A and B are shown apart, each in its own frame.
Chain A
Amino acid sequence: MKAKLAAVALLLATAACGADEPGAADDGATLTLWTRAATEAVSKAYADAYNASHRNKIEVTAYPNEEYPAKLASAAGAKSLPDLFASDVVFAPQYAAQGLWADVSDQFKSLPFKDSVAPSHVRAGTWEGRNFAVPHTIDLSVLLYNKDLYVKAGLDPEKPPRTLREFAEHARKIDQLGGDVNGTYFGGNCGGCVEFTLWPSVWAAGGEVLEADGRSARVDSREMAEVFALYRDLYDQGVASPASKGEAGPTWLGALQGGKVGIAPGPSVWLDAIEAKGVKTGIAPIPGINGGESTFVGGDAIGIGATSGKTQQAWDFLAWTMSDEAQVEVIAKRKGVPVRTDLAANKHSSADPRLVTVNGLVAKGKTPYARNFNATFNDPQGPWLTTVRGALFGDATASLMAGNEAITKSLRQE
């Protein structure tokens, strides 16, 4: 009954727009699409392929990563949002709650492949049961390790660690090579980096960092404390590079590209960038303290600007980006992670077994959900970074206890 109603509503909407021929969604409209610099290449690849085969035209504009949320906020305040805009997926609940994206629930439910669209991403774009955003790009956290350093340290480069304790052991062994080689590296002054790389270890151990409703934190759990303690030891013993303490994000990739880091958690999309510098790199899932594996399903979600007058044409583009054609010939071809779990193994990924491993993680991983995620966890002035700094470099127990309270308060702030 609901589906029927939705179909009728769709028909009515189509008729109301005065577009009675079936190709109306592709009527040669020009659509603006905003994205952050980190996602620009993928957005443009989608747009180029779409423009080549459609009458509509997508125009992509990218903004610097840090300035992008402010740009969106001011555009929303001026009621001049673009027809389409992507955002870091963890910001999606906030934008959905604020009504920055148009409701696409009915259109989304009519997709034949809706059940295999990255579930944690879809959940992130949902507010009060309605869908506002769909996945645009996927970036997973994985362990990246330097195969040459593995051989030098007498480790088997085809046997990455299966537990977080083993990860620490490997890092220590590689650190003993001495010189300017370090066992591991992490972004100790970057809230986003830490949640992306440490939370999967908590999830792999069966723990939670956030309650499902995104209104309470569980940062003071045993699982979280164990993960912090392990990284803290690595830093105290000099196994982690001393630069880890001040790493706020911008020079993180550069440190891994230098080829002087043994094994470190990081974004899967960096594989190419690191290998381009001649560093032979292996990939493994992020394990929990005593086993298991998980990942932080990051990347960008995309939706239709709430103030756009071209929702039909915009949805035509969104539906196309999730199609087999776009996912295989645009995303998989450039070694990206498909946003659909049923396309994890495809003709491009089968050429590199590492990619199949990565793609398979989408279904196992999580995307944390909280309306106040950005203000609480990613913003450098948020309570999470203070907690992280305390847990890694200060009074760990007290920081986690106090931090949990501060984070919960921030999550609930209206």
Chain B
Amino acid sequence: MRRRAVSGALYATPAAVLVGLFFVVPLLLVVWMSLHRWPLLGKPRFNAPDNYTAVADHALLSSAAWFTVRYTVLITLLLFVVAFGLALLVQNRRPGVGFFRTAFFLPMAVGFASASLLFLGLLSEEIGPVPLTGDSPALGSAVLLVLWRFAGFNMLILLTGLQAIPVDVYEAARIDGATRWQMFRRITVPLMRPTIALVLTMMITGSLLAFDQFWILTRGGPDNSTTSLVMVIYREAFVRLDLGSAAGISVVLLVLLAVVSSVQLAVLRRRSA
């Protein structure tokens, strides 16, 4: 029995080492940095809790937080509806369905930064084939980009959930005379709950950490209207060269994310129990 435990631990070691090295150590380092004034070169100086008290009256941070929350709600709703819709469309084996599944998933093969640059070129007023003009195309273009890039991926996850539902449940419902809507409401959605929970959690954490799309497409503009939280962290670290302050904001964001995710998972778990 002891031998089994030892060999089990050995099997787990590589993964544990990787997690420790690339997750736990950097995490502790960030927390440590957030307690110091941390210059690029030279000796860090302990200054806690300055980096945290500064978070409270950071001018840019509150507007960025508000924007990030609005963006998260918007993109999660849209992305979920589109991805679920696509998944339902390509759910059944029909001639040609393989082509559409591939087509919907294909944007995922393009790197996110490359995709952002692609959209920047496409929508450019100067050089783009589909120039986007008007007063506030900034948020719209970013939403469009994220939908195009991620709908297929989320579709794929939802598809695996859909296909895990036994066909006989639907057959039984059909014999009982259930309508399509009833089958969707009473069978598909309840049985999909764990998959939906996974997809929503990924969408929300992903959107709260949005960076690439705004960094490349809008640079946070116009007038800071699309500045996300991670862009503020980037500014603290790489423009103001204040690593301690950036670490402080990161830790606050991390705690908030952990709270959001645990609440979300708890709610979904209780419902499915």
Contact = CB atoms under 8 A, between A and B. Distances in A.
A27 interface: no
A98 interface: yes
A381 B235 contact: yes
B162 interface: no
B41 A79 contact: yes
A372 interface: yes
Given A372-B240, A380-B219, A381-B231, A99 B41 contact: yes
A379 B239 contact: yes
A69 B39 CA distance: 15
Interface string A376-406: 0001111101100100000000000000001
Contacts of B232: 381
A77 B59 contact: no
B60 interface: yes
Interface in B34-52: 37, 39-42
Interface string B4-25: 0000000000000000000000
A414 B45 CA distance: 13
Contacts of A79: 41
Contact of A99 (B42, B224, B243): B42
B239 A69 contact: yes
Interface in A62-77: 69-70, 73-74, 76-77
Contacts of B60: 381
B239 A306 contact: no
B3 to A, nearest CB: 43
A379 B243 CA distance: 17
A164 B227 CA distance: 35
B41 A379 contact: no
B237 to A, nearest CB: 7
Contacts of B206: none
Residues of B in contact with A, size category: 20 to 34
Given A189-B221, A375-B235, A76 B41 contact: yes
Interface string B204-230: 000000000000000111111001000
A248 B235 contact: no
Nearest to A406: B59
A215 to B, nearest CB: 16
Contact of B238 (A69, A251, A383, A414): A69
B126 interface: yes
Contacts of A100: 40-41
A87 interface: no
Contacts of A382: 239
A76 B238 contact: no
Nearest to B134: A246
A115 B223 CA distance: 42
A260 to B, nearest CB: 12
A248 B221 contact: yes
B240 A375 contact: yes
Interface string B113-128: 0000000000011110
B40 A189 contact: no
Interface residues of A, number: 34
A278 interface: no
A100 B232 CA distance: 23
Contacts of B235: 375, 379, 381
B110 interface: no
B231 to A, nearest CB: 7
A98 B41 contact: yes
A379 B241 CA distance: 13
A24 B5 CA distance: 63
Contacts of A379: 235, 239
A386 B224 contact: yes
A141 interface: no
A254 interface: yes
B241 A73 contact: yes
A382 B126 CA distance: 26
A374 B239 contact: yes
B177 to A, nearest CB: 58
B223 A98 contact: no
Contacts of A99: 39-42
Contact of B126 (A76, A254, A380, A413): A254
A189 B222 contact: yes
A43 interface: no
A367 interface: no
A243 interface: yes
Interface string B126-140: 110000000000000
Interface string B48-66: 0000000000011000000
A293 to B, nearest CB: 31
Contacts of B124: 251
Contacts of B59: 383, 406
Contacts of A251: 124-127
A94 interface: yes
A175 to B, nearest CB: 20
B212 to A, nearest CB: 13
B40 A76 contact: yes
B33 to A, nearest CB: 10
B238 A389 contact: no
Given A76-B40, A251-B124, A306-B41, A98 B241 contact: yes
Given A73-B241, A254-B127, 13 more contacts: A70-B238, A77-B243, A98-B241, A189-B221, A251-B124, A251-B126, A307-B41, A372-B240, A375-B239, A381-B239, A382-B239, A389-B222, A406-B59
Interface of A: 69-70, 73-74, 76-77, 79, 94, 98-100, 189, 243, 246, 248, 251, 254-255, 306-307, 372, 374-375, 379-383, 385-386, 389, 406, 413-414
14 contacts: A73-B238, A74-B238, A246-B222, A248-B219, A251-B124, A251-B125, A251-B126, A375-B240, A379-B239, A380-B221, A380-B224, A386-B223, A389-B222, A414-B37
